[in-house]
Chains A and B, each alone.
Chain A
Amino acid sequence: MRWHKLGKIFDPAEHILANDCSQYAQSPQALVFDDFVRIYFSTRAVDKHNGKFLSHVAFVDMKKNLRDVIRVSDKTVIPLGGLGCFDEHGIFPMNVLRHGGAVYGYTCGWNRRVSVSVDTAIGLAISRDGGETFQRIGPGPVLAPSLHEPCLVGDGFVKRFGEIFHMWYIFGTGWKKYSADAAPDRTYKIGHATSLNGVDWAKEEARRIIRDRLGPTESQALPTVVEFGGRYHMFFCYRESADFRTHKGRGYRIGHAVSDDLRDWLRDDEASLLAGTPGDWDADMQCYPHAFGCDGSVYLLYNGNEFGRCGFGLAKLIP
């Protein structure tokens, strides 16, 4: 499998964004229309109360050459959740798919905690105006912590195969302080759930579907599944759980696994899948992949250095 890197295609600093957002365009997610591609991403505003970040969903419409910007959303796509709700402090990411004339948006909602920085859960919001705005089905999540998935349920990616909705997502296995004066760091793994209606989900309950390559403290995030060459391919990103933000070599890179039945996945990312380009926007980190098909080609959107502070880029599968 070889990818042709097309470079960075969107820089949030070059556009005016709603909700006073200025930096970050994280976790791009594509919705293909007849004559353009809408790419949702999460961008950030500063919380006036405490200087912390709030993640908001925005989108950019691009021509199908995936180079030329048509427009950037200038309104709120989905407001943040209410006081005490799971998505009060951010939505990052939102995964979209068409279903029954509507667009379903699976949100990863963030809420801040005291002993650890945050917890997350997965919500569902539905758009009936072609993906311009989304309304929650309720103030609470559709996928939340459970007996053996105690925290940090998030990063839902949903696709329908036959009559079954499949969701690949992540769940936390725990928080740990790696040194006495460090803030707690989390570890999460990729899991799987299914549903008949996209609302009521049955988890496989803590089955770790992707084998660890970096050992038990490998964190795996942002699964995305696409079918090509007669097989199912999952892309995701993975990193060490501690000292990963600035320590090159411990941060996010892109992983890959294949499956023939959507259940058992064979990991095969021993060889670097999508190496960063030295000195370029993705030199130090590659993360938050999103695979999609458009007009017969397979593309991979992803973020580069600093978790996507300066935007996202694109690669195209070489058939």
Chain B
Amino acid sequence: MFAWKKLGKVFTPQAVEGRVWLKEFAQAPATLVFSDFVRVYFSCRPTADANGQYVSYSTYVDLERSDLFKIRKVAEKPILGLGDLGEFDEFGIYPVSIARHADEVRAYYAGWTRCESVPFNVAIGCAVSRDGGNTFVKLGNGPVLSYSPDEPFVLSGPKIRRFDNRWYLWYIAGRKWKIVAGRPEPVYKIRMATSEDGIQWNKVNKDLIDSRIEADEAQASPDVFEANGKYHMFFCYRYSSDYRNREKGYRIGYAWSSNLIDWRRDDARAGIDVSTEGWDSEMVSYPHVFELDGRTYLAYLGNQVGRYGFGLAVLDGQLK
């Protein structure tokens, strides 16, 4: 079992002032390391509208590299505007995954629209930054990864990586909408696609991670990290119904692979669970692994899927 030492909550959106679009939630942290600070991209929300509905934006906070608990700056604006009327990302850009490549920084993001029979649908878009990750421009006003015969809806949670000169995208694909207490709840599984240019994608078209707690287990945040000759995936999973609580809410799972396609799930090794009290006492979710100055860190969300921010853990030892 990996030995993650929890360091506590790093960022609390409620503490930020002067940004109407950043009132609650700091979801799905994704890091980009600079010479003297670490930029953490995350997704946030303004207060809900009169009908209790939210939109999501993505933005970033810069943490001091020498002390990740010191905030240097919070972005003045979201990194991307919401889509136009009828477009796939009209009602939310969440989550976002970031990768540096050559002289650009790419963002892959999930765009949200609202539907009549189910609450939402999601597809994956792409944007590029040419100023080191401060501002981004969408490559188009449609998605870069969309629905296909075997992946009919809810393509979300992108995690972009580059190994051996190829682009890899891990994401989730909706399997079904399950009616729970009269309300449709999405069931989704972890999938992947590969690409030479990051724009034309070839889907693998199979579930990568076996379901463990139930057949309709929902899986999210497939965060892949290479260390010691293996690929390590941390992800989160939950029950399909009545999951907004400690008992059935998100937990962090683990799988490893030697070829990026065949994964062996071994949640017993994940090494991080809910705390007995505090900000992550009901759930732990949306893991993101990054390396900094010789140490391996895990950024993750706590209760209510990051409503009150994200925290950090540091690994005692190595991923192997």
Please give the residue numbers on chain A whose beta carbons come within 8 Å of chain B beta carbons, in ascending order.
81-86, 88-89, 111-116, 119, 121, 123-124, 136-142, 144-152, 172, 174-177, 184, 186, 199
Selected from B86, B140, B153, the residue in CB contact (under 8 A) with A85 is B153
Q: Are A144 and B146 interface neighbours, CB within 8 A?
A: yes
What residues of chain B lie closer than 8 Å to A136, measured between beta carbons? 149
Q: Is the CB of A146 within 8 A of B142?
A: yes
Residues of B within 8 A of A177 (CB): 85
Q: Are A114 and B115 in contact (CB under 8 A)?
A: yes
Q: Are A141 and B148 within 8 A (Cβ)?
A: yes
B147/A144 in contact, CB under 8 A: yes
Asked if residues A115 and B177 are in contact (CB atoms below 8 Å), the reply is no
Q: How far is the CA of A186 from the CA of B87 in the complex (A)?
A: 11
Judging by beta carbons under 8 Å apart, are B142 and A174 in contact? no
What A residues does B115 contact at CB under 8 A? Answer: 84, 111-114
Query: Can you list 23 contacts pairing A with B, beta carbon distance less than 8 Å?
Result: A82-B176, A84-B115, A84-B153, A84-B154, A86-B147, A89-B117, A112-B117, A113-B116, A140-B147, A140-B148, A140-B150, A141-B148, A144-B148, A145-B142, A147-B139, A148-B142, A150-B141, A150-B142, A151-B87, A172-B86, A174-B84, A175-B84, A177-B85
104-142 of chain B: CB within 8 A of chain A: 113-118, 121, 123, 126, 139-142
Ranked nearest first, the 7 interchain pairs of A and B with the lowest CB-CB distance are: A138-B149, A147-B140, A140-B152, A150-B142, A175-B86, A112-B116, A114-B114
Q: Assuming A137-B149, A150-B140, is B117 touching A83 (CB within 8 A)?
A: yes
Residues of B within 8 A of A (CB): 83-88, 90-91, 113-118, 121, 123, 126, 139-144, 146-154, 174, 176-177, 179, 184, 186, 199
B85 touches A116 (CB 8 A): yes
Q: Measured between alpha carbons, how far is A184 from B87 in the docked complex, in Å?
A: 13
The complex places the Cα of A248 from the Cα of B85 at a distance, in Å, of 27
User: Taking the nearest CB of chain B, how far is it from the CB of A199, in angstroms?
Assistant: 8
- Whether the Cβ atoms of A84 and B118 lie closer than 8 Å is yes
Nearest CB of chain A from residue B37's CB, rounded to whole Å: 32
CB-CB under 8 A from A150, the residues of chain B are 83, 86-88, 140-143
Which A residues are in CB contact (< 8 Å) with B142?
A: 145-151
Q: How far is the CA of A146 from the CA of B118 in the complex (A)?
A: 22
Contact residues in B for A112 (Cβ distance below 8 Å)? 115-117
The answer, among B118, B152, B184, for a CB contact under 8 Å with A139, is: B152
Given A138-B152, A142-B148, is A175 in contact with B85 using a C-beta cutoff of 8 Å?
yes
A148 to B126, CA, bound (A): 12
Chain B residues with Cβ below 8 Å from A119 are: 86, 113
